[in-house]
Amino acid sequence: MKKLLAFLCICMQLVPLWGQAVSRISNGVKVEAGTVCVELECFSPSIIRVKKYPSGKIPEKHSLSVVKRPENVKYKLQEKDNRITLITSELSVSLDIAKDQVCFTDKDGKVLLAEKPSSVGFTPFDDAGMSTYKVRQSFRLDADEAIYGLGQHQQGRMNQRNQTMVMRQVNMEIYIPLIHSVKGYALFWDNYSATTFTDNEQGMTFESEVGDLCDYYFVYGGGADGVVAGLRDLTGQAPMFPLWSFGFNQSRERYVSQDELVGVVKKYRDLQIPLDGIVQDWRYWGEDHADWNAIEFRNPLFPNPKKMLDEVHSLNAHAMISVWPSFGPATNPYKDFERHNKLMSHETFPQNSGVKVYDAYDPVARDIYWKHLNEQMFSIGMDSWWLDATEPEHNPIKEEDYDYQTYLGSFRKVRNAFPLVSVGGVYDHQRTVASDKRVFILTRSAFAGQQRYGAQSWSGDVVAAWDVLRNQISAALNFSLSGIPYWNSDIGGFYTANHFPGGVKNPAYQELYVRWMQFSVFTGMMRSHGTNTPREIFQFGNRGDWAFDAQEKMINLRYRLLPYIYSASWDVTSKGGSLMRALFSDFPTDKKVLDLGDEYMFGKSILVAPVTSTSRSRSLYLPEGTRWIDFWTGEMQDGGREITRNAPIDIIPLYVKVGSIIPVGPSVQYATEKPWNNLQIRIYPGADGEFILYEDEGDNYNYEKGKYTTIRMTWNDRKKQFTIYPCEGGYDGMLQERNFRITLVDGQDGLGLDNESQTVNVVYKGKKLNIKLL
């Protein structure tokens, strides 16, 4: 009792310090320093929230991105030399009161990040009649400090230093006010209004149009994986996608009838080309703009949508439907939203057609949105959602449109978070009505925390061009480093007409398309889509034609790698991992990879170097600290040097890190056609290695209840011993016995996936096995 009373006295104590007021608050400290009040709050030993606001005005704020609640963190407070220091087991955070400067250091005293002195700014601002501020804060970065993140951008930058960026969501640009430093920390600026990011010789600054306070989170991870895991801890974990979604998905703008859509699936089956998803783009609702996005099959060429979906399912495929957040005035959703006063004021695409966006910030509006999705689509068997234009699209933009009062304040105040709340509404509602079908959402925009909603983004309506293809790589990696693990792009680029007249019949376009498809094998979703020309594989010719054969090879490669990809996805869900990995994530001491934005790791074993030109060779860098084995030939290469790899049209340069263990699945026509009871296990010798094979029921949420299995595998390189550990976990229908074909990749032969010249076959029944490989 005495200890409790003493603690309460400390918590309530106001300590005068140099004319200031310092008080302990829950999980931190509050300092009233002149005209500004500063709060430092521990969310964990490695996550600190910093709030600053004008004294006497304590703002209330519920974060849209942050879902973590502060932990009961053990910390110490020190007061010395006009400085308050909060110390956890991982960090020290100090506030120099005279300079109004917060500084973050690690437990060894190394400075990680510091604010510029007296650089917080609150400029009074009238936001549609509400008195608030334009807010800013500046920071000091090391001169050679590389930073990443900020969302997804198309300028081809990897390192995001030395630029100015006006962050307002638009097609092809996803703005997330978050930087990820090579020093092992992230800073998330928790503001949803348009924000200008600036980095120059004077410092790095976030300046937002609207804010009642300066509010940011400092996340320390020690390295890229730790940072990303911390961001997930802060903003939400990524659930598992259905296994089928990692297969090949076909789309175009657009299938004009249900017969055409089903016919495409049948054609793939007839050709024995693997396929798991078919996508219906717009105008299934009809051609009149007044019917825009009716979320109904009003188009007479879709007379029986349930039959269409039943036929797709009977062919062992899945369907995705395009839905927008905007509605034409003749649609039932529009009328429903209007009746409840839930339509925003501005018009959007198509221009001058009366189409308006719903107020996704309002829970009632999200209920209405889902009601129509559920009644018209989900109830008849639709498998997944393509939530297009979630920026949302704004055409034309007028400043007064931002005055519109959403459920959470002016549109100006919450503009950039629209995709987060709109996508989140669909996820939350589907989870309440079904547990046997995982939510799978494809969306054009995103904001911090969106990974928790079963969504992955694509890069928007990009143009078919070689430089655009190259820029997709750094765009994807920076997006991943912003904390959102799944990303993809339209294979071949959305627009083709200006660059490649003739489309699929143009050999120049065929080459670009094949190279883009090779890249897409190693992204979150392998998805063909675009306008101006159809994209199905049979549009490119027949077997024996190079463009056809190269695509078939890549689609089959994707399916053979599904055990590796799905296990990597479990690492994303269970450990806050990343699928597309910037090279510095795995090789932080190699200075040459810090600004390398055209190659990456896919999972923790495979280095991917996409071909992004018409050349038949590719220069690439193999990071130091390990050796590398050519995926296609088995040839060993030393790291720490640049090499040139021949790249004929059917080859994408791939290198596997020594010590890797890669499971290879069967040849299939769809992801779940065959159980994984006969897997090839490829061992890449040269270092010790470990892999965890993950399996579950594929398309429900039983894994959240512990219904899944993991099988740990290790390779001892010195002893040449491969060990398979006892199977952990279980679920209904799990395999009780399987055959593992263990292949040692030693560079002696050509090593395509079917080469098993040095293979040991073992029967695994869930018990530990030790296998000696000579």
- The catalytic residue positions are 388, 391, 461
Three-state SS letters, 699-744: CCCHHHHCCCEEEEEEEECCCCEEEECCCEECCCCCCCCEEEEEEE
Which H or E run includes 333? helix 332-339
Rounded to 5 degrees, what are φ and ψ at 614?
A: -85, 5
Phi then psi for residue 280, to 5 deg, are: -100, 115
Whether the CB-CB separation of 605 and 660 falls below 8 Å is answered with: yes
* Other residues' Cβ atoms within 10 Å of the Cβ of residue 508: 14
Residue whose pair of structure tokens reads 């987060």 in the numeric block: 420
Q: Which two tokens stand for residue 607?
A: 């280095």
d(CA 269, CA 267): 5
What is the distance between the alpha carbons of residues 607 and 590, in angstroms, rounded to a whole number? 15
Structure tokens at 699: 């398309």
Angle subtended at Cα 572 by Cα 566 and Cα 578, rounded to the nearest 5 degrees: 105
CA–CA separation, 708 and 731 (whole Å): 6
For 330, what's the count of Cα atoms within 13 Å in the CB-facing half-sphere? 11
Give the span between the Cα atoms of 556 and 551, in whole angstroms: 9
The upper half-sphere exposure of residue 224, i.e. CA atoms within 13 Å in the direction of its Cβ, equals 27
Tokens of 357: 């966006």
DSSP 560-605: HTHHHHHHHHHHHHHH---SEE-HHHH-TT-GGGTT--S-EEETTT
Query: Do 183 and 142 form a contact (C-beta atoms < 8 A)?
Result: yes
618 phi, psi to nearest 5 deg: -145, 120
